[in-house]
Structure 1
Amino acid sequence: MMRSIIAASLSALALGSVAHAQDTSYTLGAGYERFSGDGVDLDSVVFRGRYDFNQYFGVEGQANIGIGDDSVTVLGTPVDVSLDYAVGVFGVVRAFSNENGNVFLRAGYTDSQVDASVPGYTVSADSDAWAYGVGGEYLFDGRNGVRFDYTKFDYDGGDADVFGVSYVRRFGG
């Protein structure tokens, strides 16, 4: 009798795990993001991966690599500013979600490195920030799509508004 109960329990657990696994998915993407703050606009390429626990909750990580630089004038001297990298991890809540797209909120923590240089001298600054934002994805065929998002990086010394557009590819459920 006890073996039958254990076998039935394990079978129910296995079937529940399979059903849960079909609800999960992950998404990979790459695109462009622009950091704007304190009079500086910095362009970057972003690579992102997201794991969805279910239709409404997930976690994502991203890495930005700076491309190009911007120039600002400080005390009459032109200073070139560039983004080396930014990495972050975010919790994602999708308020609306179906097989063709979703609208999401996200919040997380990031670390960034920025360089500022004048001829003959370069300074690097490593800053971490809490970040939060909103966005949406539209999947053309249920697997491939486009993502638009806005994220506010809240650094100790100031803020950056980050706007992005990316290609996304969904795998799994």
Structure 2
Amino acid sequence: MRNVLLATAALTLFAAPAMAQSFNDPQWTGSVGYTHLDSGDDSLGAITGRVGAKLSRYIGVEAEGSFGVKDEDITVAGVDGTLEHEYDAAVYAVGTVPVSPNLELFGRVGYGTTSLKADVAGVSATEDGESLNYGAGANYFFDGQNGVRADWTRRDFTDDAGGEIDTYGLSFVRRF
């Protein structure tokens, strides 16, 4: 076992200079759009902004942040109230498959935090949740810089209450 670990470490040292060469000039992207959050029972909406860097042709990183713009009316024990998406933030590792010069498919996996607020009969409660996130999508560029992005991401919450939220996004994306 020790020999396998030593061999793996040695191969990593040989591969590191090649990886560093491809990371020198990342391709940056930014996007802004609408994200629909669906937990099965409740439906919320948010404006989402992202910034990402493709470190090589197939591998990149991405950070995103959202704030709520569409609330959900709820009823708790016969009393009406609202559920609000306050904010979320996440970071991702992104794998990309270029299909053509204008179309690329991607998968992503990351970690995020989400804050929701419920207000029922003048009583407010805020719930923050950490989540493991994974999803897929596509970017289509009209020209070399401007395009659209469609994506789906599942947020799998890690706390005791657990739960999942599926998000569906449509955004304007720009390469820099």
TM-score normalised by length of structure 2? 0.82
Q: Is 1:48 matched with 2:53?
A: no
User: Where does residue 167 of structure 1 map in the other structure?
Assistant: 172
Residue 130 of structure 2: which of 106, 128, 131 is its match? 128
The answer to which of 66-75 and 27-36 deviates more is: 66-75
The answer to which of 58-67 and 94-103 deviates more is 94-103
Matched, 1:104 2:106: yes
Counterpart Cα distance in 2 of 1:99 and 1:108: 26
**Alpha carbons 1:136, 1:149 under 8 Å: kept:** yes
Partner of residue 80, structure 1: 82
Aligned alpha-carbon RMSD (Å): 1.8
Q: Which runs of 5+ in 1 are unaligned?
A: 1-12
8 Å CA contact 1:91, 1:107 repeated in 2: yes
Contact 1:39/1:72, CA 8 A, preserved across alignment: no
Give 1:101 deviation, angstroms: 2.2
Structure 2: which 5+ runs fail to align? 1-16
Shift of 1:96: 3.1
Q: How many residues are matched? A: 155
Distance 1:146 1:20 in 2: 25
Deviation at 1:119, TM superposition (A): 2.4
Distance 1:164 1:87 in 2: 15
Measured in 1, the distance between the counterparts of 2:136 and 2:126 equals 29
CA contact (8 A) 2:79 2:121 kept: no
The match for 2:163 is 158
Which structure is higher in strand share?
1
Give the match for residue 4 of structure 2: none
Deviation at 1:97, TM superposition (A): 4.7
In structure 2, relative to structure 1, the CA distance for the partners of 1:81 and 1:20 (3 Å cut) is: closer
Q: Which moved more, 1:102-111 or 1:119-128?
A: 119-128
Larger radius of gyration: 1
Query: Could you tell me which of 95, 98, 116 is aligned with 2:97?
Result: 95
Q: Which amino acid aligns with 1:74?
A: V
Displaced runs of 4+ in structure 1, greater than 6 A? none
Whole-angstrom CA distance in 2 between matches of 1:51 and 1:142: 16
1:9-48 superposed matches below 5 A: 21=24, 24-48=26-50
Amino acid at match of 2:136: V
Contact 1:38–1:158 (CA<8 Å) still a contact in 2? no
Q: 1:20 to 1:90 in 2, by over 3 A?
A: closer
Matched, 1:141 2:133: no
Counterpart residue identity of residue 69, structure 1: D
